[in-house]
């Protein structure tokens, strides 16, 4: 399955965890007036006073969830047990593919957006963008959908089942898409976010089995807005991941099946052992198997794949 164009859709978006120069990170935190950063620097160690002050301040932020550049992917299957029974969580590469989804249509819905900690502090305006390739006959058309959510630090957005792509066409090799999040703090950009909350953007992107001429300009506009906001001084891209779902059952691949996929921003690819965690349907939360009061201490996105029905 060709993936170059999918990957390139977000090529201009650089998340803060990809910044190579500590000075860039410090400058971004100062622009956003991050409360932790501001509190950590005195007049003598302000960003404008030299590299030493910058490095001293950044030592405090080495283990911040927003600085991680890696994602781990988990999977929760369709519920088959009673509502009060915990459901196991598997590594997304360890599941069986559902080959009945080959050349079918699926829905993608956003079930959870959890902000453990983002730069800027307080309540965050988070612009979430999904992009994919819609397989129509022999043509693959780029599609994207953006929506903004207001989330307090340490909390999840008040959403479940939010439509992203309705009727996405799956190719014979599977489907691939990517996601990015941008923390929008620039007050002048609130009008743009307001436009994304208007009715045309509220119901997800409904896709057909034939090519739609209006899709291309719509996608270009939404991606253009995302890239513009990500580059503004007081805004910052925090998460970005690409996920190809196929039917190969390759050891390092991820299979396509109905259920929930969890994308967690982590410090390294071994940070989470999924066998230590379960989903509690009666709590509606992912918790540690040995301690139901312990929740995932990371930023994460959970999306759902389901079969499309007319």
SS3 253: coil
* Residue that the structure tokens 């819609």 belong to: 134
Distance CA 118, CA 65 (A): 7
Worst-scoring range by mean pLDDT, 51-60, 99-108, 126-135, 278-287?
51-60
Judge whether residue 15 has pLDDT over 50: yes
Tell me the average pLDDT across 91-116: 95
Q: Please list, residue by residue across 95-130, b when 16 or more beta carbons sit within 10 angstroms of its beta carbon and e when fewer do.
A: bebbeebbeebbbbbbbbbbbbbbbbbeebbbbbbb
Residue 118: phi and psi, rounded to 5, are: -120, 160
Residue 161 to residue 69: CA distance in whole angstroms:
27
Strand partners, 304: 109, 260
In contact, 269 and 277? CB cutoff 8 Å: no
CA torsion sign, 191 to 238 to 235 to 19?
A: negative
Say yes or no to pLDDT of 8 above 80.
Answer: no
pTM for this model (two decimals): 0.87
pLDDT at 238: 95
């Amino acid at each position: 399955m060709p993936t170059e164009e999918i990957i390139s859709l977000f090529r201009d978006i650089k998340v803060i965890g990809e910044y190579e120069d500590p000075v860039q990170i410090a400058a971004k935190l100062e622009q956003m007036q991050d409360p932790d950063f501001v509190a950590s620097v005195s007049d003598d160690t302000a960003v404008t006073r030299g590299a030493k002050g910058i490095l001293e301040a950044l030592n405090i932020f080495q283990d911040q969830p927003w600085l991680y550049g890696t994602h781990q992917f988990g999977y929760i299957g369709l519920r088959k047990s009673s509502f009060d029974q915990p459901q196991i969580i598997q590594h997304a590469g360890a599941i069986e593919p559902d080959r009945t989804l080959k050349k079918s249509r699926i829905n993608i819905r956003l079930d959870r957006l959890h902000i453990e900690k983002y730069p800027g502090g307080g309540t965050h305006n988070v612009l979430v963008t999904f992009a994919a390739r819609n397989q129509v006959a022999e043509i693959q058309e780029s599609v994207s959908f953006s929506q903004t959510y207001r989330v307090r630090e340490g909390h999840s957005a008040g959403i479940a089942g939010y439509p992203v792509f309705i009727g996405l066409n799956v190719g014979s090799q599977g489907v691939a898409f990517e996601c990015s999040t941008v923390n929008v703090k620039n007050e002048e950009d609130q009008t743009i976010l307001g436009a994304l909350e208007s009715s045309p953007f509220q119901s997800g992107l409904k896709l057909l089995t034939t090519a739609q001429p209006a899709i291309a300009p719509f996608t270009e506009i939404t991606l253009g807005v995302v890239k513009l906001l990500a580059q503004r001084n007081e805004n910052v891209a925090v998460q970005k991941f690409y996920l190809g779902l196929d039917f190969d059952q390759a050891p390092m691949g991820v299979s396509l099946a109905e259920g929930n996929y969890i994308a967690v921003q982590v410090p390294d690819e071994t940070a989470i052992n999924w066998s230590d965690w379960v989903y509690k349907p009666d709590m509606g939360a992912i918790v540690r198997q040995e301690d139901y009061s312990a929740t995932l201490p990371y930023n994460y996105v959970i999306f759902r794949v389901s079969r499309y029905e007319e």
